[in-house]
Each structure stands twice: as C-alpha cells, then as structure tokens.
Amino acid sequence: MNKIEKINLTAAIILSGICSCAPKPNAVPKNEYGLPVVERNGTYRQIIKADSTHRMVPLSSLLHPVNTAFFYATADNFTHQVLYHHPQPYLRLEAANALKKVQDSLHTIGLDLKIFDSYRPYSVTRKMWEIVPDDRYAANPANGSGHNRGVAVDLTLIDSKTGRELNMPTAFDSFSDTSHQDFMNLPEAIIQNRRLLKKVMEQYGFIALDTEWWHFYLPNPKRYELLDLSFKQLRRAVK
C-alpha cells in the first residue's frame, strides 16, 4: 500500500466513523405490528439530526392566532373518556408550513382556523381502538394514524372577529352520513362553508377524508414514523 492509498484509507475510516453516528429511521424499534414507533426523546432527536424535515413544530409558532378546542382532553368525545392531558397543537414541518398558508389565506377574508386535534400520540390511537374497535370511527393501530405521524389535522372555520364557528354539516366527530364530504341534503350556506374549508386545505396540499368534513392530511403519510411521545415529552424534545 503506497502513501496515497494509506491517506485515502484513513480518510475513508474517518468518514465511516462519522456516518455511523448518523441515526437512521430504520433503527427505530418496531412494535408487534412491525411498525416503527418513536417512544423516546432521544430517538426523536436522532431522527431530526439525520433529517430535519421530520421535525415537529408547535403551531403556536406559526399560526397567529392559534385557536384550539381539544375534545380529547375532556370526556366530551366519542369515547367518553379523557384521552390525553395538556395538549398543544403540533405538526411535522411540512404540514405546519402548509397550514400556515391556509390560515394566512383565510385571514384575508375574515376567517381563521380552529383546531380540534393535530398530533396525537400512538398510545391514544390504541386506546381509541380498545374502546371503539371500528375502523369507520377510529384508526386501527395495526396501521397507525396520520395524527400519530404528525401530518393530519381536524379543524373547522371561525369568524376572525367574533371567534364563532361557521355552521358545518355536523359537530366534530359526529359519525354519520351527514359528515361525509359528498352529503348534499343540507342548507346551501353549510355546503358552501364545507366547500370553502375543503378548497383552501386542498389548495395548500392537504387531502380531505371523504367521511369526515373536518379531517385533512398530507399525502404519503407513511414516510414519517409513528410517534408515541406525550405532549410533555414533545415540548421538551422540540426546544
């Protein structure tokens, strides 16, 4: 081995050592369904270090104002149980930036968003399924949810000045045909409100769920890992 070859080999070893430190998403532990689930802040930080586009963003840093009504933090939801505590709205960077564009667009016509749910820990999806094991109403933990991946959001429209919600086909989490995007036996004003929400969300990259007028998500959600970080953990992780 000549001198140049030794130098090249040494450089390769050094670079290999550096690269081996870079965390890889496929190193995330998998659960019984074979799904990678992030349960520790350290694992989350490693993923973000490897790919900053996976970063979770507090919506309060982008949406002004940020309006919320977290029904799952109360017993006033379809499970009749408190499912999580001290929530804050978080989404992945791409979804958060897209939602900011939605809010900014709506604000020019005197409207804002009100968020019912955004990021939701995977353990909450498990709990929902235990209570209501019906994939018409809850995500099967064998697949996980876009909420667990930080790319889905449940929301409605409100008047910017009064804060009052615009009339929509149903209340949040009202599981019936009336909540479907194509249900038309409604007053024209309500159809127009639903149509406006869907139009502006789709304009900035979200996909509407056919059976829930309030639910929107980014395409290809499985490119992101499932997260099972509590809101307390997440607040610490994103500092």
Whether residue 148 contacts residue 122, with contact meaning beta carbons closer than 8 Å, is answered with yes
For residue 202, indicate whether it is catalytic. Answer: no
Give the three-state DSSP class for 192. helix
**Cβ neighbours of 181 (radius 10 Å):** 15
Residue 239: CB partners within 8 Å, gap ≥ 6? none
Query: How close are the terminal C-alpha atoms of the chain, in Å?
Result: 49
- Strand 67-68 to 111-117 pairing: parallel
Whether residue 21 contacts residue 204, with contact meaning beta carbons closer than 8 Å, is answered with no
The single residue of 39, 94, 212, 225 carrying the catalytic annotation is: 212
Catalytic residues: 212
